[in-house]
């Protein structure tokens, strides 16, 4: 009878033992989940894509399937999430989500120690079992990664089929062999899972993320590059519990939103804030509500909001107590129709 081998993550040193000096001539390969990202779950990122790129019904379907995902093996779980998230979605919608929505959540979940190790290298390669299109824009735009290798998806024209390409889900150790051939990478960084053990073992040096390496969340001042823009409707990481709470709140939240929309459309500007506060809205106004010199006759004033949604200009109207015109470049026609203020397309 052959011997049964079990994987011992202690075979490789912890990332805390990694020395960043003298790495600029070296190549580092890394896994994104459970390594670069502190969150071990794939689900929130698929939910972001489903909600922002596919709509609320697709997101609800993915949430309803979340209990089933718990009992599936890793490969089937990934295939189900890919199919539900991507079936029938336009490629350009996914590309928009990957550049304008996902970077915020990736940056908020970066493992500082893993990022610093990756950043110390001259050449960086990242492997992931999730679809490459979900992570490539972030890794290249924000972390200056040279090569991104992930699962490839099938498309028909401009639409995803929801199916994985014939090559199947990415197998990281095979991807390392395909990308580097006989020239072994200098450093490999992965989690303590068996799958990561296989790929980091192909490297000259190997390090694993342990509990001690799960450092505090990276502050915005430490971001490798400033977050330029977040165009998403979700401001929180949609874990299954958080997403369930969101859908539970919708039957209450929608009537309240309609009431506030009615208030903003019908009542005078000076009554908007008090009446909205009566519906439970917590809105604080600080700073002057008029220009400093007070003499701006014949001159216009441009107010720049920090988020591109119609509600920011509406709140500004209430705070200044005078009607404003908002300039937009991406709102739908429906949003323009129900907007409580005048909208001009750029």
Can you tell me which residue has the tokens 């969101």? 246
CATH numbers and ranges of domains, the chain: 9-238 (3.40.50), 250-284+298-345 (no CATH)
Q: What is the pLDDT of residues 72-96, one digit of tens each?
A: 988 999 999 999 999 999 999 999 8
Residue 162 in contact with residue 88, Cβ under 8 Å? yes
Query: Residue 1's pLDDT band (boundaries 50, 70, 90)?
Result: very low
pTM for the full predicted model:
0.81
Which range, 146-160, 199-213, 249-263, is most confident? Answer: 146-160
Residue 135 in this model has a pLDDT that exceeds 80: yes
Order across the sheet with 205-208: list the strands: 147-151, 123-131, 27-31, 187-190, 205-208
Q: Alpha-carbon Rg of the chain, whole angstroms?
A: 24
Which stretches of the chain are assigned E, i.e. beta strand?
A: 27-31, 123-131, 147-151, 153-156, 159-164, 187-190, 205-208, 325-328, 342-345
């Amino acid at each position: 009878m052959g011997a049964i081998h079990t994987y011992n993550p202690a075979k490789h040193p912890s990332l805390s033992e990694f020395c960043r000096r003298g790495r600029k001539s070296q190549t580092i390969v890394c896994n994104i989940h459970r390594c670069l990202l502190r969150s071990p779950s794939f689900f929130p990122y698929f939910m972001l894509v489903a909600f922002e790129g596919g709509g609320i019904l697709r997101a609800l379907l993915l949430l309803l399937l979340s209990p089933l995902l718990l009992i599936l093996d890793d490969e089937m779980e990934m295939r189900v999430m890919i199919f539900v998230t991507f079936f029938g979605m336009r490629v350009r919608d996914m590309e928009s989500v990957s550049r304008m929505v996902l970077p915020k959540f990736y940056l908020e979940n970066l493992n500082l120690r893993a990022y610093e190790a990756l950043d110390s290298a001259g050449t960086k390669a990242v492997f992931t079992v999730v679809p490459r299109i979900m992570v490539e824009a972030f890794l290249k735009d924000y972390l200056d990664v040279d090569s991104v290798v992930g699962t490839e998806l099938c498309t028909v024209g401009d639409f995803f089929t929801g199916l994985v390409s014939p090559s199947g889900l990415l197998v990281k150790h095979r991807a390392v062999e395909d990308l580097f051939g006989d020239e072994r990478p200098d450093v490999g960084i992965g989690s303590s899972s068996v799958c990561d053990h296989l790929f980091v073992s192909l490297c000259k040096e190997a390090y694993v993320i342990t509990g001690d390496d799960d450092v505090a969340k990276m502050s915005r001042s430490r971001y490798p590059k400033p977050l330029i823009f977040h165009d998403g409707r979700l401001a929180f990481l949609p874990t299954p519990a958080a997403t369930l709470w969101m859908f539970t709140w919708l039957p209450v939240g929608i009537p309240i939103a309609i009431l506030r929309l009615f208030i903003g459309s019908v009542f005078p500007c000076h009554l908007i804030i008090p009446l909205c506060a009566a519906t439970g809205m917590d809105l604080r106004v600080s700073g002057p509500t008029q220009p400093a010199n007070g003499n701006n006759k014949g001159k216009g004033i441009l107010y720049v909001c920090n988020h591109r949604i119609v509600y920011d200009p509406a709140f500004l109207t209430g705070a200044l107590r005078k009607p404003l015109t908002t300039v937009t470049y991406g709102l739908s026609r429906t949003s323009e129709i129900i907007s409580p203020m005048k909208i001009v397309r750029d």
